[in-house]
């Protein structure tokens, strides 16, 4: 069985992809329905990167819709078609789907060389029940390789008031408070826990922190209070 594919058919498929992108990423309107302006709160680097990603994908969706409409319009005036066997088309679609699934699983489950886990721990007490006063972020650095990390640097979003380092089998140590915390000789399978006080009580405070090892940036995985990943 052969399919007679025309320009209009290709345009419809491109329109479909564009519509899916717009459905998931949309276009942020400058004015809401009630006439109010959409304002940005905070200056998180993570949120800025996410906003740029959404803007790119939404513009790509609009572009695909435009190109698809153009091809449909041309298809009404230009007689162009190509015969494609249905079996070959299904085979190509199947290969693309399987390849996408394999790549997704590989990226998701590939063991990372280094991990940076971040957990926000608010400090509640009778005198200060609000978490906006004192708070602690606990960062766990994991070396999943078989080699010792000679040096690493933890970059914080704000300067902390107290920095404590905990390593299994060693006495706790106190670092000089700074936005850059340096470490040496991180052994494999020996997590390093870094407790930093008062860098911010919002989730973006942890998202803006990162670990640098030999020029490679490791972004944190944010954990909930129960330990589940965000």
142 φ, ψ (degrees, to nearest 5): -115, 130
Residues 103 and 118 in one domain: no
Domain total in the chain: 2
Q: For the ranges 21-35, 80-94, 106-120, which has the lowest average pLDDT?
A: 21-35
Describe the strand order of the beta sheet including 216-218 as a list of residue ranges: 180-186, 149-155, 210-213, 216-218
Please check the confidence at residue 229 and state whether its pLDDT lies above 50: no
- What is the arithmetic mean of pLDDT over 189-209? 85
Residues 129 and 98 in one domain: no
Q: What DSSP letter does each residue of 97-139 carry, written as one string?
A: HHHHHHHHHHHHHSPPSEEEEEEEEE---SS---TTSSEEEEE
Residue 127 has what pLDDT? 59
Q: How many CA atoms lie within 13 A of 196 on its CB side?
A: 28
Among 94, 109, 124, the domain boundary falls at: 109
Domain span holding position 25: 2-109
pLDDT digits (tens, 9 = 90+) for 40-87: 444 456 666 777 788 888 888 888 889 888 888 888 877 777 676 767
Residue 148 has what pLDDT? 92
Residue 111 has what pLDDT? 66
Residues 43 and 105 in one domain: yes
pLDDT level of residue 22 (50, 70, 90 thresholds) = confident
Residues 184 and 140 in one domain: yes
In a domain, 80, yes or no: yes
- Can you tell me whether residue 77 is helix, strand or coil? coil
In a domain, 52, yes or no: yes
Residue 57 has what pLDDT? 85
Residue 205 has what pLDDT? 82
CB 171 within 8 A of CB 226: no
CB 114 within 8 A of CB 141: yes
CA distance 125 to 114: 35
Average pLDDT, the chain: 78
What's the angle, vertex CA 222, arms to CA 217 and CA 224, rounded to 5?
A: 170
- What is the arithmetic mean of pLDDT over 87-109? 73
Residues 74 and 16 in one domain: yes
Residue 164 has what pLDDT? 93
In a domain, 228, yes or no: no
- What is the arithmetic mean of pLDDT over 122-145? 72
CA distance 175 to 183: 10
pLDDT level of residue 28 (50, 70, 90 thresholds) = low
Angle between helices 7-25 and 45-75 (to 10 degrees): 160
Residue 13 has what pLDDT? 85
Domain harbouring 158, CATH code: 2.60.40
End-to-end CA distance of the chain: 49
Residues 208 and 119 in one domain: yes
Residue 18 has what pLDDT? 85
Residues 161 and 179 in one domain: yes
Please check the confidence at residue 157 and state whether its pLDDT lies above 60: yes
Residues 161 and 82 in one domain: no
CB 7 within 8 A of CB 78: yes
- What is the arithmetic mean of pLDDT over 114-127? 78
CA distance 196 to 74: 62
Cα–Cα separations (whole angstroms), residue 180 to 28, 148, 195, 210: 36, 21, 13, 10
Please check the confidence at residue 130 and state whether its pLDDT lies above 70: no
Among 53, 81, 109, the domain boundary falls at: 109
Residue 163 has what pLDDT? 92
Helix, strand and coil percent figures for the chain, each rounded to 5: 35, 30, 35
Residues 138 and 84 in one domain: no
């Amino acid at each position: 069985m052969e399919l007679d594919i025309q320009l209009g058919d290709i345009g419809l498929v491109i329109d479909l992809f564009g519509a899916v992108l717009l459905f998931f990423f949309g276009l942020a309107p400058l004015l809401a329905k009630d006439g109010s302006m959409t304002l940005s709160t905070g200056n998180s680097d993570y949120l800025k990167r996410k906003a740029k990603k959404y803007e790119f994908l939404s513009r790509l969706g609009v572009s695909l819709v435009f190109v698809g409409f153009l091809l449909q319009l041309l298809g009404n005036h230009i007689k162009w078609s190509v015969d494609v066997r249905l079996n070959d088309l299904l085979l190509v679609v199947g290969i693309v789907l399987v390849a996408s699934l394999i790549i997704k699983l590989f990226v998701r489950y590939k063991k990372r060389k280094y991990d940076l886990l971040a957990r926000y721990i608010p400090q509640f007490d009778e005198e200060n029940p609000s978490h906006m006063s004192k708070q602690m972020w606990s960062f766990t650095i994991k070396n999943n390789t078989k080699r010792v990390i000679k040096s690493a640097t933890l970059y914080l979003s704000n300067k902390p008031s107290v920095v404590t380092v905990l390593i299994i089998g060693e006495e706790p140590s106190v670092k000089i408070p700074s936005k850059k915390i340096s470490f040496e000789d991180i052994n494999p399978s020996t997590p390093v826990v870094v407790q930093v006080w008062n860098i911010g009580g919002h989730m973006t405070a942890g998202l803006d922190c990162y670990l640098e090892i030999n020029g490679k940036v490791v972004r944190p995985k944010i954990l909930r209070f129960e330990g589940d990943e965000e």
